[in-house]
């Protein structure tokens, strides 16, 4: 099992589209905002309910904007339809070619296993797959042992890129995250489970972690294990729908 929600074709049966996620993301985001404004406004309202108001004077404002754009593109209304917003780019001739490589992204929690110069090595905490990425914009802020929630996209054969959002979880959360992953894998390995059920459980989990991280920002006086908890003191609904 993995957080890669759309099964890839075998490597020799498909052509990996070479693209730069970061270069194309602004075009995709702008297209969705201008052509599907009601969805954009609904998503922003929901994201504020989950994480709190946007404050353009806050030191984390730009990171929060990246988190929102990532959430809007991949997570908004995930309970009713996976990649609800992303699917809409298929109505645009120039952008629809990016649907497959973006929908094949690996959405997960990773642990950094090494950082050397611009090279970042990390391990998927679910699938246990290892990834090596070259990214100077993140290498300066990451250290071995860090736990990050992000997405990894194959931009060309055997080359990968981070998405726009990267959420750092405290090292102290590792045992909680591992316990949750183990439970999800156990439940979704049952014969009665479907692939859709697995997707929903794990999107719920990632959404839950997103909210917990923002709660930790807000309630700095509360201990980490009181927020990263099955019954957190600052519990909020993580339902992906409005």
pLDDT digits (tens, 9 = 90+) for 207-233: 999 999 999 988 888 999 999 998 766
The per-residue pLDDT for 149 is 97
- pLDDT confidence bin for 10, thresholds 50/70/90: very low
- pTM, 2 dp: 0.85
- In whole angstroms, give the CA distance from residue 57 to residue 32: 26
Q: What's the token pair of residue 196?
A: 């859709």
- In whole angstroms, give the CA distance from residue 58 to residue 125: 31
- Delimit the domains of the chain by residue range: 171-227
Give the bridge partners for 134, in sequence order: 119
Q: Tokens 């993301």 — which residue?
A: 25
The helix (H) or strand (E) run that includes residue 154 is strand 147-156
Q: What's the token pair of residue 76?
A: 């908004």
Q: Are 208 and 238 in contact (CB under 8 A)?
A: yes
The burial of 182, by beta-carbon neighbours within 10 Å (0-12 exposed, 13-18 middle, 19 or more buried), is given as exposed
Residue 3 is given by DSSP the state S
The helix (H) or strand (E) run that includes residue 23 is helix 21-35
149-175 average pLDDT score: 90
pLDDT tens digits, one per residue of 44-74: 999 999 999 988 777 788 899 999 999 999 9
Q: Are 123 and 130 in contact (CB under 8 A)?
A: yes
Residue 29, phi then psi, degrees to nearest 5: -65, -45
The per-residue pLDDT for 191 is 57
The per-residue pLDDT for 12 is 35
Q: Tokens 């890129």 — which residue?
A: 161
The per-residue pLDDT for 20 is 65
In the predicted model, is pLDDT for residue 171 greater than 90? yes
pLDDT mean across residues, the chain: 84
∠ CA 150-176-71, nearest 5°, is 30
158-168 average pLDDT score: 88
Cα 156 → chain centroid: 20
The burial of 210, by beta-carbon neighbours within 10 Å (0-12 exposed, 13-18 middle, 19 or more buried), is given as buried
pLDDT tens digits, one per residue of 81-110: 899 999 999 999 999 999 998 988 999 999
């Amino acid at each position: 099992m993995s957080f890669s929600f759309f099964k890839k074709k075998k490597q020799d049966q498909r052509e990996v589209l070479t693209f730069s996620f970061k270069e194309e993301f602004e075009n995709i985001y702008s297209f969705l905002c201008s052509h599907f404004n009601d969805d954009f406004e609904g998503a922003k309202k929901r994201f504020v309910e989950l994480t709190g108001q946007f404050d353009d004077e806050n030191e984390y404002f730009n990171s929060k904007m990246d988190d929102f754009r990532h959430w809007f593109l991949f997570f908004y209304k995930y309970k009713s339809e996976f990649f609800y917003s992303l699917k809409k780019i298929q109505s645009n001739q120039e952008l629809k070619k990016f649907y497959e490589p973006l929908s094949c992204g690996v959405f997960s929690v990773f642990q950094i296993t090494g950082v050397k110069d611009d090279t970042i090595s990390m391990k998927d905490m679910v699938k246990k797959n290892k990834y090596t990425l070259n990214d100077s914009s993140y290498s300066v802020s990451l250290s071995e042992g860090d736990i990050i929630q992000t997405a990894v996209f194959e931009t060309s054969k055997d080359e990968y890129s981070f998405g726009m959002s990267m959420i750092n979880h405290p090292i102290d959360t590792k045992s909680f995250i591992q316990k949750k992953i183990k439970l999800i894998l156990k439940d979704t390995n049952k014969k009665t489970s479907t692939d859709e059920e697995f997707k929903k459980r794990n999107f719920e989990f990632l959404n839950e972690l997103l909210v917990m991280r923002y709660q930790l920002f807000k309630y700095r006086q509360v201990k980490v294990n009181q927020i990263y908890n099955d019954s957190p003191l600052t519990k909020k609904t993580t339902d992906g729908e409005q």
